[in-house]
A and B are shown apart, each in its own frame.
Chain A
């Protein structure tokens, strides 16, 4: 109820102890088209929904290679994401120059998070409006992290951000226990199924999704459309039981209703007003 009075400045607290500008920035992430990440013992896969607002428009780039061992998928203000990826690339190159070894993923994620935090505590700045899924491998194996505009970062087995990400998250929650043992191809198929959930009634083709993966002995690579289409085609050959539950859902269900229905597994439904804010753990 007091949101409007305390949401002008990022440096103004609300009486409920929240920074509304930062939460609004996280809202921008939720409005962006979905990005999904999942990992196994050997690989991490990133997948994105590429929605073009008109047929004349080409799809936005949401997958970026940061270094041979790190890549990101973004959701939200992709322009902010490009700036962050330039910073991340620069940090990786500098680290490599000084230490002649790849920058561990977790360290890079913390640096990005600290950079994002600065924008939440300066009156002349605004928070980054982009959420990143950072996939990478280092000495401790493959990792998947999420970076928030709030300056928080989290490590995940599997996660999805952006619009209609809840549908993908539900799929991931159902299947994530099997991910660790998956082969590369199985992991990619799981990612594509998750993307399919986010696309709902639309057909999955290589032109409305993107996929990238990185592995312990494999450099980060964004799959070209041909390879991607081959994986999509192989999905149809695989068992149909994964596809069945989604077909039972009514096609034009409102996003809100979907959220409440799946709230048993869902997290981070932002309440208007009191209650723990999405930024706090």
Chain B
């Protein structure tokens, strides 16, 4: 169910008092956090498995990660109904691409497609905060971070969702060289090893789950590398 709007404060009404007006919203925020880290020959994508609405939990076991191709996966937080529609849309477009070109889409190509798909609905956006991760044409890890209408940038690591403000400072600190804030700008990948990156991701989620009420229950981690896709799972606090 879409969230009920809280009563709005209208500045021009200061004399007559605030107007109370409930209204229906087509959007809802199902919470959750997504993280991705790009390595020299791997990419780690992670998302918690909690789905909420308002102050309630809908389920403790929902996957926010979608594998679009062998080399590319999408982690999204926000309104899961919109996200599911977006995933299906991208999947259909990817199938058509495969029929026409006899090969799968590369991650950078998918990144552009996602941006265009999001901007297509510029005036009724997908309420989706996306992180796309995978291997680029050279086999190096790549991570792309998006806003709701398709503005995107290739980065060394990214986080989106309710816990992003808690996680990003930690990643900035731990992955110094890969930070997008460091000048000169380069799409560097972290020199960390795959297992170090996975451990870092687990730590960040454990910390985020402490303070963010919408992050918890479990974290699903996938690693994309030359050997394929491996999945990990770690329990998180249920409160």
Question: Residues of A at under 8 Å CB distance from B?
Answer: 65, 86, 89-90, 93-94, 96-97
Contact = CB atoms under 8 A, between A and B. Distances in A.
A215 to B, nearest CB: 20
Interface residues of B, number: 6
A89 B99 contact: yes
Contacts of B96: 89-90, 93
A73 to B, nearest CB: 16
A96 to B, nearest CB: 7
A65 B100 CA distance: 11
Secondary structure type dominating chain B contacts: helix
A4 B200 CA distance: 80
B88 interface: yes
A96 B95 CA distance: 11
A94 B96 CA distance: 11
Contacts of B92: 93-94, 96-97
Contacts of A89: 95-96, 99
14 contacts: A65-B99, A86-B99, A89-B95, A89-B96, A89-B99, A90-B96, A93-B92, A93-B95, A93-B96, A94-B92, A96-B92, A97-B88, A97-B89, A97-B92
Nearest to A67: B95
A89 B96 CA distance: 8
A-B pairs with lowest CB-CB distance, top 7: A93-B92, A89-B99, A97-B92, A93-B95, A97-B88, A93-B96, A89-B96
Given A86-B99, A97-B88, A97-B92, 11 more contacts: A65-B99, A89-B95, A89-B96, A89-B99, A90-B96, A93-B92, A93-B95, A93-B96, A94-B92, A96-B92, A97-B89
Contacts of B88: 97
A225 B89 CA distance: 34
A96 B99 CA distance: 15
Contacts of A93: 92, 95-96
Nearest to B94: A93
B142 to A, nearest CB: 27
Contacts of A97: 88-89, 92
A65 B96 CA distance: 11
Contacts of A94: 92
A97 B96 CA distance: 12
A214 to B, nearest CB: 16
Interface in B66-116: 88-89, 92, 95-96, 99
A237 to B, nearest CB: 32
A100 to B, nearest CB: 8
Contacts of B95: 89, 93
A90 B89 CA distance: 13
A86 B100 CA distance: 9
Nearest to A90: B96
A94 B92 CA distance: 8
A141 to B, nearest CB: 24
A271 to B, nearest CB: 41
B83 to A, nearest CB: 15
A89 B92 CA distance: 10
Interface in B47-77: none
Contacts of B89: 97
B44 to A, nearest CB: 29
Nearest to A64: B99
Nearest to B99: A89
A97 B85 CA distance: 9
A75 B99 CA distance: 20
